[in-house]
């Protein structure tokens, strides 16, 4: 008997339309594979959606995928994640459940304890507790109890949180697995890493993401993934990579921004990047020119003409030389003025937080799209902000 574990799909995530498409296509691929493999059921361990109120187009696609599972006789069991959780308790996961496409894990919670109620599926007992914003689920997880199954049943514990074993020494709030009820399979979501480990002989697996969520994740993970778990005899964990497009990371060290465009184009011209995702990372300390001297639009036009699927850039490790502070404020370009003022401020008031100023300005300059309602826009805005501030993983 097999089941599948899908996590952190963040449907509706990504600002670039072609990346949003790839995100949903990756999810569809995972569902298609679950049907081909004839799994018993699929576990969704949170952040199915990127926000509690996803756009209609995303909902249409998602519902149609859940319908395919249902028509194939495959059950879907689900918990909310930190992104699709809402304080009011109302999310689109409830709509999915009410329309008969999935079952959300239930529990009783009071001040002293949290009792997880099992979903029983043949010889499986499936328990789950949702993730919340900013790791607020951790205090509840410390007081979890489960309604025990009959002895031979296979126990699955679904959680959307950070376990200590997955982050090692990074100072983030987390919970060690041995503080949780015993399970035969820990189906985890939240941290976007490639993590599968046996802890006390039992597998603990972060199931996602089904597609990387940002530049950094594309760089680290390249592709999305999900898992199939075969419990015939012994428990076998099979990682299924979802490779729809190849990813190329191009790193350019730069000293002279005035020659930057040329320098980058020269490198790109040597490569065949047709239909690939190009990640351009420019780093170094500028001795001449400034960031705005690099003509990224020209680079993008070149890549588009050569059939690149998507072009993403990251210049956060490109530091401006000291000269730049001298830029004349008489040049009325807004970006330049901001740049000068922020650098001046940073010099007078050094703080690590100053690094957040530009990412925050960029993130806050998000515009409401046509037909997008305020709550969707707001959650898109906040989700971007959270990423900048590293509130969510």
Binding site for Mn ion (CB under 5 A): 8, 47
Contact 22, 244 (CB under 8 A): yes
- Between 320 and 381, whose beta carbon lies closer to Mn ion? 381
- Between 8 and 65, whose beta carbon lies closer to Mn ion? 8
Q: How far is the CB of 361 from Mn ion (least distance, A)?
A: 25
- Between 226 and 302, whose beta carbon lies closer to Mn ion? 226
Q: How far is the CB of 32 from Mn ion (least distance, A)?
A: 22
Q: How far is the CB of 13 from Mn ion (least distance, A)?
A: 9
Q: How far is the CB of 208 from Mn ion (least distance, A)?
A: 7
Q: How far is the CB of 12 from Mn ion (least distance, A)?
A: 12
Residue from 319, 46, 40 nearest 162 by CA: 46
Q: Measuring CA to CA, how many Å separate 53 from each of 183, 276, 289?
A: 32, 31, 44
Find the helix or strand (DSSP H, E) in which 114 lies. strand 114-117
Task: Give me the residue label for tokens 């964990």.
Answer: 237
- Between 8 and 339, whose beta carbon lies closer to Mn ion? 8
Listing from the earlier edge strand, what are the strands of the sheet with 119-121? 119-121, 124-129, 154-161, 185-190, 202-206, 195-199
Instruction: Determine the length of the chain.
Output: 393
Cα 253 from Cα 281, distance rounded (Å): 8
Complete DSSP assignment for 74-141: -EEEEE--TTT--TTS--HHHHHHHTTS-EE-EEEE-SS-EEEEPEEETTEEEEEE---GGGTTHHHH
- Between 263 and 383, whose beta carbon lies closer to Mn ion? 383
- Between 193 and 327, whose beta carbon lies closer to Mn ion? 193
- Between 135 and 260, whose beta carbon lies closer to Mn ion? 135
Cβ neighbors of 249 (< 8 A, separation 6 or more) are: 219, 279, 281
Q: How far is the CB of 149 from Mn ion (least distance, A)?
A: 29
Angle at CA 98, nearest 5°, toward 96 and 99?
65
- Between 47 and 65, whose beta carbon lies closer to Mn ion? 47
- Between 51 and 263, whose beta carbon lies closer to Mn ion? 51
H-helix segments, 234-312 = 260-269, 296-305
Find the helix or strand (DSSP H, E) in which 103 lies. strand 103-104
Residue from 211, 218, 205, 127 nearest 166 by CA: 205
Cα 69 from Cα 56, distance rounded (Å): 20
Q: How far is the CB of 136 from Mn ion (least distance, A)?
A: 15
Contact 270, 242 (CB under 8 A): no
Cis, peptide link before residue 389, omega less than 30° from 0:
no
Q: How many CB atoms lie within 10 A of CB 98?
A: 10
Contact 346, 319 (CB under 8 A): no
- Between 46 and 260, whose beta carbon lies closer to Mn ion? 46
DSSP 37: T
Q: How far is the CB of 213 from Mn ion (least distance, A)?
A: 7
Q: How far is the CB of 192 from Mn ion (least distance, A)?
A: 6
Q: How far is the CB of 324 from Mn ion (least distance, A)?
A: 37
């Amino acid at each position: 008997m097999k089941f599948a574990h899908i996590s952190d799909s963040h449907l509706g995530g990504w600002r670039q339309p072609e990346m949003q498409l790839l995100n949903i296509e990756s999810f569809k691929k995972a569902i298609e594979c679950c049907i081909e493999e004839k799994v018993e059921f699929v576990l969704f361990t949170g952040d199915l959606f990127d926000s509690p109120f996803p756009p209609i187009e995303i909902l249409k696609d998602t519902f149609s995928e859940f319908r395919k599972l249902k028509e194939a006789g495959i059950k879907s069991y689900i918990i909310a994640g930190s992104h699709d959780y809402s304080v009011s308790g109302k999310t689109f996961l409830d709509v999915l459940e009410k329309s008969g496409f999935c079952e959300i894990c239930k529990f009783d919670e009071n001040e002293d304890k949290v009792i997880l109620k099992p979903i029983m599926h043949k010889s499986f007992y499936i328990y789950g507790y949702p993730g919340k914003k900013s790791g607020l689920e951790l205090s509840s997880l410390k007081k979890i109890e489960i309604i025990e199954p009959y002895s031979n049943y296979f126990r699955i514990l679904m959680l959307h949180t950070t376990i200590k074993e997955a982050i090692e020494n990074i100072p983030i709030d987390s919970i060690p697995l041995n503080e949780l009820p015993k399970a035969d399979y820990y189906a985890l979501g939240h941290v976007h890493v490639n993590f599968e480990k046996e802890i006390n002989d039992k597998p603990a697996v972060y199931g996602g993401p089904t597609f990387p969520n940002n530049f950094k994740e594309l760089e680290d993970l390249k592709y999305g993934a999900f898992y199939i778990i075969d419990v015939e005899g012994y428990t076998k964990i099979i990682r299924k990579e979802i490779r729809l497009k190849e990813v190329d990371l191009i790193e350019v060290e730069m000293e002279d921004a005035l020659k930057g465009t040329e320098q980058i184009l020269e490198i790109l011209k040597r490569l065949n990047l047709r239909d690939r995702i190009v990640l351009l990372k420019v780093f170094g300390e500028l001795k001449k020119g400034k960031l705005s001297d690099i003509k990224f639009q020209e680079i993008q036009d070149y890549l588009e003409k050569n059939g690149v699927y998507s072009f993403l850039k990251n210049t956060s490790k490109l530091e401006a030389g000291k000269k730049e502070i001298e830029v004349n404020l008489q040049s009325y370009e807004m970006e330049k003025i901001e740049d000068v003022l922020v650098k001046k401020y940073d010099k007078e008031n050094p703080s690590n937080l100053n690094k957040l100023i530009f990412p925050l300005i960029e993130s806050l300059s998000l515009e409401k799209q046509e037909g997008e309602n305020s709550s969707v826009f707001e959650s898109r805005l906040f989700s971007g902000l959270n990423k900048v501030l590293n509130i969510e993983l």
